[in-house]
Chain A
Amino acid sequence: MTKTVEFGKDLTGLEGLSLAQITTILDVAEPFKEISERPIKKVPVLRGKTIVNLFYEPSTRTRVSFEFAEKRLSADTVNISGSGSSIVKGESLVDTARNLEAMRIDMVVMRHGSSGAAQFLADRIPSNVINAGDGQHEHPTQGLLDMLTIRDHMGGIEGRRVCIVGDILHSRVARSNIYGLAKLGAEVAVCGPPTLIPHGIEDIGVTVFKRVEEAIEWAEVLNVLRLQLERMEAGYIPSLREYNRFFGISVARLERAPRDVLILHPGPMNRGVEIDSHVADGPHSVILRQVTNGVAIRMAVLYLLAGGSPERAEAAKMENRA
């Protein structure tokens, strides 16, 4: 029998996961890819489980991806978004969650604007909590699907040179990528305007490129982040046009690279700002593969967290029967 990797109740970030846990999620996601290619895209593994998708911030891709994952595993799902719910009436996060618990739910998938919100909730309710992005902290399933996509196309992650380009300071995607990729042995770099690079990031072993040309020369994979328009208003960058001039990923820049560079983007894209259309739709872009892999990764995470309690597992193993 294969050695079982234990998972906790929740997935709040990749920082706290072990190499074995991350590898297990990526491996379990492989067979789940095939389910989405079947004529009947459904397996009964989470039949009878109730999952609440609690989205305090707007999201299309992540919410829909989670919902497809849940439905393809036969779970029952409810979506709650910030507007149009009692959240706007001022109900606290814990009160909302406790009321949902009172209706007997099994899992909560949450997107929230405050860093640490997922952990806060996970510590207070018995249901499984999956972080779908909390403030500037982490977005673990995005990090995992990025890694799965890199692994698919590069044949592995260890030793690969991955550069994350853009607003690293505010990005939960960047954080989850850095933690996860580092654990899997990739070389990780970041590139962006100095105002958007966190101080001291070199101390955790991340290389910093000030010029995007240097980053492109070094990297085998570029993960291009969305530039939030608010950053310009807040004075982090002078203008979108200038950002595009200095940090935009264009065909001309990529042509000077010594090798083909794999292009990832977590979406939604600002075409013509952080990435040019010819790159986004070009032959080395795997942006839509990321979206496809996202469903498989979320299925894997739901499946692995939904398992029974360790005590019951032990009891069941005692009377095991092949």
Chain B
Amino acid sequence: MDEEAVRRAVARMAREIVERNAGVKGLILVGIHRRGVELADLVAEEIEKSEGQKIPNGTLDITLYRDDLSVIGPRPVIGSSDIPTDIEGRAVVIVDDVCYTGRTARAAMDHLADFGRPERIYLCVLVDRGGRELPIQPDFVGRHFDVTPAEDVAVLVPKEDGRLAVELRKTE
């Protein structure tokens, strides 16, 4: 996907979110570190453009909620989690770059529960590559890719990678 394709997908997901939520009332976007944070910013911009209203936008680092510390060891880079408003009774949209095994989404939901009890949680991802290991499905998807385990989906975002795109790569 080139930049145009990504932007169109983001714009469509933004519309779908507003439609499903019947407006922007009670909506909070939460991006997962690191690339989900930038994508959440893009989705928020789109919603603001169409609805003329800023919606709260937070970040979540799920490192400490992962279930694989004993398998792959500690990750030395832990970002901060910052939820700007009380999530009690709100509709929280978790935004991430890729949905694969579903373990990140599970960890994100556990993490959100420590901030309160949202009315509901949506999952919005730019790429759904299949291969789920948990009964979790995204609500808003930019694009489905059939990807074998030997391939990798790379989502590139401006601040991290210098450009906006999605690329399929062979894993070495």
Q: Mark A168-210, 1 if CB is under 8 A from B, else 0.
A: 0000000000000000000000000000000000000000000
How distant is the Cα of A4 from the Cα of B101 in the complex, in angstroms? 23
A43-B73 contact given A38-B114, A321-B100, A322-B98, CB 8 Å threshold: no
| Max count, chain A CB within 10 A of own CB: residue among B65, B72, B149 | B72
* A2 contacts chain B at the CB level, 8 A cutoff: yes
* A90 contacts chain B at the CB level, 8 A cutoff: no
How distant is the Cα of A242 from the Cα of B159 in the complex, in angstroms? 60
Q: Mark A284-312, 1 if CB is under 8 A from B, else 0.
A: 00000000000000000001101110101
Q: Mark B49-86, 1 if CB is under 8 A from A, else 0.
A: 00000000000010111101111111111111100000
By a CB distance below 8 angstroms, the chain B residues around A154 are none
Q: How far is the CB of B121 from chain A (nearest CB, A)?
A: 17
B69 touches A306 (CB 8 A): yes
Q: How far is the CB of B112 from chain A (nearest CB, A)?
A: 11
* A44 contacts chain B at the CB level, 8 A cutoff: yes
* A28 contacts chain B at the CB level, 8 A cutoff: yes
- Name B20-70 residues within 8 Å CB distance of A: 61, 63-66, 68-70
Instruction: Select one of A40, A306, A317, A319 contacting B74, CB under 8 A.
Output: A306
* A232 contacts chain B at the CB level, 8 A cutoff: no
A45 touches B69 (CB 8 A): yes
* A313 contacts chain B at the CB level, 8 A cutoff: yes
By a CB distance below 8 angstroms, the chain B residues around A310 are 73
Count how many chain B residues have C-beta atoms less than 8 Å from C-beta atoms of the other chain: 30
By a CB distance below 8 angstroms, the chain A residues around B75 are 4
Q: How far is the CB of A275 from chain B (nearest CB, A)?
A: 34
A308-B110 contact given A31-B79, A34-B80, A45-B65, CB 8 Å threshold: no
Q: Mark A19-55, 1 if CB is under 8 A from B, else 0.
A: 0000010011011101100111011111000000000
B64 touches A316 (CB 8 A): no
B64 touches A43 (CB 8 A): yes
8 pairs, A vs B, C-beta closer than 8 Å: A27-B77, A31-B78, A34-B81, A45-B66, A308-B69, A312-B70, A317-B72, A321-B149
10 closest cross-chain pairs (CB), A and B = A307-B73, A43-B64, A31-B78, A307-B74, A45-B64, A316-B72, A40-B114, A313-B73, A308-B70, A316-B71
Residues in A lying within 8 Å of B, measured CB to CB:
2, 4-5, 24, 27-28, 30-32, 34-35, 38-40, 42-46, 73, 303-304, 306-308, 310, 312-313, 316-317, 319-322
A sample of 8 more A-B contacts (CB under 8 A), given A40-B114, A308-B70, is A2-B76, A42-B114, A303-B74, A304-B76, A307-B69, A308-B69, A312-B70, A322-B100
